[in-house]
Amino acid sequence: MDKESQLLGRDLKIIFMLVGVLTFGVGMVMFFLPGAAGVGTALADGKPAGDQWWPWPLRTALNTRFLGSLFIAVGVGAFWSAMQRTWGQVRGLFLPALTFTALATATAFIHLSSFDRQRITTWAFFAIYIIVLIAGIIAYLRYERRKV
């Protein structure tokens, strides 16, 4: 049996499903209801209503829908990956996904001043991205280094 035909572990499929649920759900709200996600009716303090949910101000429906479309795509890829049986079927998605996650995390740190550090959504955002990045790197290395 070659590396490409290695069966995917249950743990990796669970991670795919969790990433799928989270990114697809958030993406759907951002894409179809941008006012609920990042722009829209101003609150008493003058900020868009969605700013209470997102860790940084999104400002426009374009920005919100653009990010939403990206999250929907990631969710679809994660759900598809969770239904596959072998490493060879999902391997090609790993490097682009890890690259996106690493660059998005680095960008967030570079622009940390744009985040409200008093909000739980800020810390949830960083925790999720760091956990997914580390889990992805571990999974990738585990399957790539596995001797068959």
pLDDT tens for each residue of 83-105? 999 999 999 999 999 999 999 99
Number of domains composing the chain: 1
As given in the structure block, the two tokens for residue 132 are 């997914």
Residue 148 banded pLDDT, cuts 50, 70, 90: low
> What was the pLDDT predicted at 93?
92
Burial class (CB in 10 A: 0-12, 13-18, 19+), 30: buried
**For the chain, what is the mean pLDDT?**
88
Percent of the chain with pLDDT over 90: 65
Q: What is the mean pLDDT of residues 53-64?
A: 81
> What was the pLDDT predicted at 68?
93
Q: Which domain holds residue 42?
A: 3-145
Burial class (CB in 10 A: 0-12, 13-18, 19+), 39: buried
The structure's pTM equals 0.85
* pLDDT tens column, 5-48: 899 999 999 999 999 999 999 999 889 988 776 665 555 666 66
pLDDT exceeds cutoff 60 at 49? no
